[in-house]
């Protein structure tokens, strides 16, 4: 069965955009915060294959080990990271974007992902409920990823604040 995924979320980070941009320059560290990431394999410059641990419920027999490839591209101003699927890599095609916009409180980080999961094993009885169930699982993963990203960026800020206080 094919299952479509489409998720849009945003978070506010109390840092200016120039402090958030490094997020897009270190793809491997950023991606490592994604829950269920089992393995990230670099196949070429800015091209990676993601292998995720099982998503879903094995008890309900709606579970899938997702693998997909993506080619990442950073915008000229450094405020947007986009990715497109790599053909023939895995059992999913995922594209998306990560964008930073300045706000009065710091930065708004927008995240959008869309695509399809292929060959999802779903018993006939669950065919109607499987797509929203799997979408819900992915929404939770994305929200956790964004929160981990915020925490990591704010944690990076904390040591520099301590250094400044110690220098006084």
Q: What are the sequence ranges of the domains in the chain?
A: 3-161
Which H or E run includes 3? strand 3-13
Q: What is the mean pLDDT of residues 67-79?
A: 96
Q: Would you state the pLDDT for residue 68?
A: 97
Quick one: pLDDT band at residue 123, thresholds 50, 70, 90?
confident
Which pair of structure tokens corresponds to residue 134?
Answer: 């799997």
CB-based burial of residue 124 (10 Å sphere; 0-12 exposed, 13-18 middle, 19+ buried)?
exposed
Q: Would you state the pLDDT for residue 126?
A: 82
CA distance 118 to 67: 10
Sheet holding 92-103: strands in order across?
3-13, 106-117, 92-103, 80-90, 67-74, 47-52, 37-44
Q: Which carries the bigger pLDDT value, residue 156 or residue 25? A: 25
DSSP 34: S
Query: Does 3-161 carry CATH code 3.30.530.20?
Result: yes
Whether the pLDDT of residue 55 is over 50: the answer is: yes
Q: Quote the pTM value.
A: 0.86
Q: What is the mean pLDDT of residues 125-142?
A: 90
Nearest Cα to Cα of residue 81 among 103, 42, 110: 110
């Amino acid at each position: 069965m094919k299952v479509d995924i489409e998720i849009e979320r945003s978070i506010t980070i109390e840092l200016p955009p120039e402090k958030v941009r490094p997020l897009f320059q270190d793809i491997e560290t950023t991606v490592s915060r994604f829950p269920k990431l089992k393995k990230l394999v670099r196949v070429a410059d800015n091209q990676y294959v993601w292998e995720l641990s099982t998503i879903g419920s094995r008890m309900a027999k709606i579970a899938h080990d997702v693998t997909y490839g993506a080619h990442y591209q950073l915008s000229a101003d450094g405020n947007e990271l986009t990715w497109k699927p790599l053909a023939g890599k895995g059992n999913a095609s995922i594209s998306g974007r990560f964008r930073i916009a300045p706000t009065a409180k710091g930065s708004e980080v927008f995240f959008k992902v869309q695509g399809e999961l292929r060959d999802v094993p779903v018993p006939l009885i669950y065919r109607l409920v499987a797509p929203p169930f799997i979408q819900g699982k992915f929404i939770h993963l994305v929200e956790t990823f964004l929160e981990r990203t915020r925490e990591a960026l704010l944690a990076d800020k904390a040591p520099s604040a301590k250094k400044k206080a110690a220098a006084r």
